[in-house]
Structure 1
Amino acid sequence: MSTFGDLFRVHTYGESHCKSVGCIIDGCPPGLKLTEEDIQVQLSRRRPGQSDLTTARSEFDTVHLQSGTEHNVTLGTPIGLLVHNKDQRPHDYAETDLYPRPSHADYTYLAKYGIKASSGGGRASARETIGRVAAGAIAEKYLKEAAGVEIVAFVASVGKVELPFAQGEDEVLGKEFVELLRTTTREQVDKELTRCPHRETSDKIADAIRSAKSREDSLGGTIICVIRNCPLGLGEPAFDKLEAVLAHAMLSIPSTKAFEIGSGFRGTQFLGSQHNDPFVDGVDARTGQKRLRTSTNWSGGSQGGISNGEDVYFRVGFKPPATISQQQNTAKYDGSTGVLETKGRHDPCVLPRAIPIVETMAALVIMDMFLKQNARSSAASLLEPVDHLPPSMILPGKNKVVETQLVEDKVVQE
């Protein structure tokens, strides 16, 4: 359906060329300082018309807060967010009255509902993601203030041009790539039109996109996202593991076709002795308290479907945009053959604009899991201490079976 999340629930609405798009958010905690400017930052990074590498559709995607706040503070009630569609050109899609566009959602939507939006892909359009990005921007703000969470995504590859993922057969991931994961900031990402923070790779990606655009063609690629300071204990086994819900979120984004976490498919090529994450004595980067860390983090911050306190990182694969302006031999709805030539304004590559979509969808996942884990921990804190269990059943420094470090410095004072 059109709703994502359990405790932090987001319901998006709108089609590509309707009057507006947006969302309703239910479950945002009260007391969060929030303005339209807080939300606009990510929407402006997502909007079309940013450079010659993206679609020429002119939309400023200005967000309007409709409800759920007063005096710039959230009330805990549903938040309504609205963005008007201004640069609508439904006449650009007249050819879809006769043809289902190859690799697009025209035919499947019609088969599912018996009716479809007449222009722009309807709900399958990237315009739908505006509601997600707006809601995720709120989740990001809460997570940053409440737990110091930082989420950064960047373009890792376009077509056959990619970052130096590995430096040799003995390394699961290359040192340069691991350093990018550890240190890259949004400011560094946004300095490049391609949103690839590696200058040499970025220049090659820009050339590849411009070349495809000049041929009225398109390119796909991959995006890496890292979640830093992710709290311990997030993930709901067995079916809502952290990586399972992240995969659900990412693969719900238009044009996505692949997901991997941690070392991903490359990790399958190594022995367990090379790939394992040995535990070491360490310090929590957020709280400064002692806790176990891992020496390599090839797991990508998740073990058993639960966050282990290390950086969570994953990669998302995007196919080439289906809508291109080349003539394509295909079939009409009635089965007769013909030649489709699509008009309109289209991204030759969606990767640069998809960065904030990936970041905010990750924020929605972590926000929902954070609220669930804090609810569990708060409920456990009301019980009498447990003192007769073996050490292997209780986290060191805690005296309750299910207590975690999530709320240690904010709720539980022991």
Structure 2
Amino acid sequence: MVGNTFGYLFRVTTWGESHGKAVGCVVDGCPAGLELREEDIQRELDRRRPKSAISTARREKDEVVILSGVFEGKTLGTPISMLVYNRDVNSKPYEEIKHLFRPGHADYTYQAKFGLRDWRGGGRSSGRETVARVMAGAIAKKILQRFGIRLVGFTREIAGIRCDINPEEYDLDEIFRLAESNAVRCPDEDVARRMEETILKAKAEGDSVGGIAEVIARGVPAGLGEPVFFKLDAYLAFALMSVPAVKGVEIGAGFKVAKMRGSECNDPIVLKEGKIGFATNNAGGILGGISNGEDIVVRVAIKPTPSISKPQKTVNWVKMVEDKIVVKGRHDPCIVPRAIPVLEAMVALVLVDCMMMQGLIPRFLG
């Protein structure tokens, strides 16, 4: 199956199924000399794990094992292979519905493409695959830190309840602290409480909700991105749309630009401490597909979790008759909060890859 590898110079191949023995990835192209230990990867994996009643009841420890590419705490420049064993697996609820296509899932499309599928938890199409992305992203983040680039994601909106915080008014470390202080990863405490109440209400009704996540990259140098078909914003959209449940991507002012005039949308060019900068950031840090030195701001729309306990119409593909399905098992009533580390990882992978294309990252980081 093609499509399991992401990146050009900094390449990541993910593997594994939701209820298989393990999930993992191979990272190729990482420079030598980067200090890297399992704790660095584990820190990011722990952020992805369930945090409260608004998350799945599946309790995986997600303990990373680095198999290759690291020696005495430093990367060798050779492929880095990592895995996480699946421990808390219960496939019985899926066995009961293995002949029924789950609405909103990839069951039918995988069956149509390959002629068979792993029906246990969605197999390869499960959000469990994102464990591997987070592991790879942890390495990319460490590289970016060496160049003074900081990445932070947070929940902008859930079920129509919106957080109106302006990130430009905050240090990113403060946004991170505020967002990580609650289960929904919203930096506004009052809004976070309302979001959580709405998620729990949907869960009690056997339903789910969606929302919007935002990721900010600060300290990105101007000049990243390749014209014409490999623009930075195009690459980011490609990366983020590959994350399960993401149905839309916007950068900077996004869809609001459709309602603006040019005089409102254009970001005035100014001098900031003797350097070229911009008075506003409607462009989201990208002009002509190339970074302009301002914050890169991306937002993604995430659909409601398709696994819900309300009865839904479907088809029994073995008998070829219409049927009804009730999806049992352990599922997040809202994916948004746990998706944020995954989205950060994808942005980090894109930025590292583009910096390598620009020749900004050497082969040895000693």
Note whether the superposition's TM-score is higher than 0.5. yes
Name the structure 2 match of 1:100.
101
User: Percent of pairs identical after alignment?
Assistant: 45
CA distance, structure 1, for counterparts of residue 219 and residue 213 of structure 2: 20
Name the structure 2 match of 1:171.
none
What is the identity, as a one-letter code, of the residue corresponding to 2:31?
Answer: P
Mapped contact 1:260–1:315 kept (Cα < 8 A): yes
Name the structure 2 match of 1:72.
73
**Deviation at residue 325 of structure 1 after TM alignment:** 1.3
Mapped contact 2:150–2:172 kept (Cα < 8 A): no
CA distance, structure 2, for counterparts of residue 257 and residue 43 of structure 1: 24
CA distance, structure 2, for counterparts of residue 150 and residue 246 of structure 1: 16
Asked if residue 162 in structure 1 is aligned to residue 147 in structure 2, the reply is no
Mapping 1:130-141, distance limit 5 Å: 130-141=131-142
Mapping 1:34-73, distance limit 5 Å: 34-48=36-50, 50-73=51-74
Name the structure 2 match of 1:340.
325
The structure-2 alpha-carbon separation of the partners of 1:30 and 1:177, relative to structure 1 and needing over 3 Å to count, comes to closer
Name the structure 2 match of 1:266.
256
Is there any run of 5+ residues in structure 1 with no aligned partner, and where? 166-175, 284-289, 379-409
CA distance, structure 2, for counterparts of residue 180 and residue 14 of structure 1: 39
Mapped contact 1:181–1:226 kept (Cα < 8 A): no
CA distance, structure 2, for counterparts of residue 264 and residue 314 of structure 1: 8
**SS of corresponding position for 2:56:** coil
Give the one of 220, 229, 251 matched to 1:230: 220
**SS of corresponding position for 2:27:** strand
CA distance, structure 2, for counterparts of residue 279 and residue 157 of structure 1: 31
**SS of corresponding position for 2:358:** helix
What is the identity, as a one-letter code, of the residue corresponding to 2:313?
Answer: N
The structure-2 alpha-carbon separation of the partners of 1:108 and 1:181, relative to structure 1 and needing over 3 Å to count, comes to farther
CA distance, structure 1, for counterparts of residue 243 and residue 58 of structure 2: 20
**SS of corresponding position for 1:44:** helix
**SS of corresponding position for 2:141:** helix
Name the structure 2 match of 1:312.
296
- Count of residue pairs the alignment pairs up: 360
Name the structure 2 match of 1:249.
239
Mapped contact 1:16–1:128 kept (Cα < 8 A): yes
What is the identity, as a one-letter code, of the residue corresponding to 1:153?
Answer: G
**Deviation at residue 181 of structure 1 after TM alignment:** 8.3
1:185-232 deviations in Å (ceiling 9; x for gaps):
322210011100011211110010010011111000000110000111
Asked if residue 143 in structure 1 is aligned to residue 160 in structure 2, the reply is no
What is the identity, as a one-letter code, of the residue corresponding to 2:98?
Answer: D
**Deviation at residue 95 of structure 1 after TM alignment:** 3.2
Is there any run of 5+ residues in structure 2 with no aligned partner, and where? none
**SS of corresponding position for 2:213:** strand
1:255-289 deviations in Å (ceiling 9; x for gaps):
01000000001122111111111111123xxxxxx
Which structure has the higher relative contact order (CA within 8 Å, separation 6+)? 2
CA distance, structure 1, for counterparts of residue 298 and residue 16 of structure 2: 29
Moved over 2 A (4+): 176-185
CA distance, structure 1, for counterparts of residue 216 and residue 24 of structure 2: 26
Mapped contact 1:95–1:342 kept (Cα < 8 A): no
Asked if residue 201 in structure 1 is aligned to residue 191 in structure 2, the reply is yes
Name the structure 2 match of 1:357.
342
**SS of corresponding position for 2:97:** helix
1:378-411 deviations in Å (ceiling 9; x for gaps):
9xxxxxxxxxxxxxxxxxxxxxxxxxxxxxxx9x
Mapped contact 2:270–2:277 kept (Cα < 8 A): yes
1:5-54 deviations in Å (ceiling 9; x for gaps):
01100000000000000000000000000000011111001023x21010
